[in-house]
Structure 1
Amino acid sequence: MKLLVRNLSRSTTEQELRILFSAHGSVTECSLVLDSATAKSKGFGFVVMPNDTEAKAALASLHETRVAKNKIRVKVAQ
């Protein structure tokens, strides 16, 4: 299942995002969306978790939690 993670701090790294979601199960892919001009984070990214049960558990427990002072939003990517 592919999850969209929004409202991330611009300083959050892909590694930090992977660690955050790995606490809830296996993560096969993790990527931040970067600004093409500055190569800095745009504040959102995607996490792919192969097990739907683990992905739903991660979504339920991480949605609207604080990460680096920002309240992140997690939902299923369309």
Structure 2
Amino acid sequence: MKIMIRGLSRLTTEQKVLSLLAPYGLVHYFHLVMDPNTKNSKGFGFAFMPNPSQAKAAIKSLNGAEVDGQKIRVKKADTKAGENGHDQ
């Protein structure tokens, strides 16, 4: 399941987010979106957890948590039609 994490501090690293997700299960990746001009974080990113029940537990536990002084928002990422073979 693809997860979107928003509201991250500009100082929060990919490694920090991975360490937050790890207790809930296997994380295939986390990609922190960066501004191509400034090379600074845009404050959001995407993770993929292959086990949906683990991903849902991470969402439930981490949504609204404070990380590096910021209240983060965690939810299932919207998938584009056809991205995984069918519309959702």
Q: Distance in 2 between matches of 1:57 and 1:76?
A: 11
Gaps of 5+ in 2: 79-88
- Structure number with bigger Rg: 2
CA deviation map 1:29-63 (0-9, x unaligned): 11100001011100000111000000000000000
Q: Distance in 2 between matches of 1:13 and 1:31?
A: 10
| Equivalent residue number for residue 74 of structure 2 | 74
Which runs of structure 2 are paired with 1:1-78 in the superposition (5 Å)? Answer: 1-78=1-78
Q: CA deviation at 1:74?
A: 0.4
TM-score by length of 1: 0.98
Q: Distance in 1 between matches of 2:74 and 2:10?
A: 16
| Structure 1 stretches of 4+ moved >6 Å | none
Instruction: Tell me the number of residue pairs that the alignment of Structure 1 and Structure 2 aligns.
Output: 78
